Structures are given as C-alpha cells and as structure tokens.
Amino acid sequence: MGRYTVLYDGGCPMCRRTVRVLRRLDWLHRLTFVDATDADVRARVAPGLTEAEVLVEMYVVSETGARAGGYAGYLWIARVVPLMWPMALLGPLPGVWHLGDAIYRQVAANRVRRGRCTDEVCAPVAPSSRAAR
C-alpha cells in the first residue's frame, strides 16, 4: 500500500473538518494533508495544478506523482484507510460510481467558502462590506 498526499482547500471549514476526520481514521499514517491554497506547496506536491482546480475539488497525489480529484480521490484514500475499505471495493462499481461522483460534485459546488470562516461556520460577507470592495 502506498502513501498519498491530500491537497484540500484550507479556506473551507467543511474541508478542514473532513481532514480532521480522515486524520483520525488514518491510523496507518498513509495520508499527508496539505493546504492547496499555498501556491509554493501546491507547486512542489502537484506541479501544474492550479488554485482554480483545487478550489473545485480535493486532489490526492500518489508517491509517483499520479493524481486523482474529487470522488476518484476519495476512492484512492479508501484504498489505504482500513475503515474505508468497503468504499474502495464498492465505490468503483458503475451505479455506485455515478451516485458517489454526483453527490461529491453537488456538495463541493455548494460548500461555503466566502466571508468570515471558522471551523464551525462561514458567515456571509455583510452587504455593506461588499459595496466597499
């Protein structure tokens, strides 16, 4: 089993919460997590991957430099995290793949990232502060 680097959006409370859960599940220490919004780190770990791409979906990078984004990335993670092995087995099946990918894209597209963020909540930017920009 290999090791993976997971590039996530460090400005997203939901993404940070997901990383905390994955860290707890990863008792074999197969995953390394990096904030993909840091351009220097992103260039070192996944050359050519843009900030725009990592703001759309999470990416998982193998030791060889191969990478998978979104739902496919979660399936890579599932291969090395024991409690997620059932997902690694069932996730690639055609019906499960389409459903899992659709759910991933829906959640990623509707996550809140703007405004003042904490790990619990993202408050929208106040209308008066938008006008000042």
For residue 110, the model assigns a pLDDT of 82
Tell whether the model's pLDDT for residue 1 goes beyond 50. Answer: yes
Higher pLDDT, residue 110 or 125: 110
What is the model's pTM?
0.80
Tell whether the model's pLDDT for residue 114 goes beyond 70. Answer: no
Rounded to 5 degrees, φ, ψ at 49 are -80, 125
What's the token pair of residue 77?
Answer: 């993670």
DSSP, residue by residue, 94-117: HHHHHHHHHHHHHHHHH---SSEE
Average pLDDT over residues 55-80: 95
Cβ-based neighbour number of residue 92 at 10 Å? 14
Tell whether the model's pLDDT for residue 64 goes beyond 50. Answer: yes
For residue 130, the model assigns a pLDDT of 42
Task: Determine the number of helices (DSSP H) and then strands (DSSP E) in the chain.
Answer: 7, 6
For residue 109, the model assigns a pLDDT of 84
Give 60's strand partners: 6, 68
Higher pLDDT, residue 76 or 124: 76
Higher pLDDT, residue 39 or 112: 39
pLDDT tens across 12-30, in order? 888 999 999 999 999 999 9
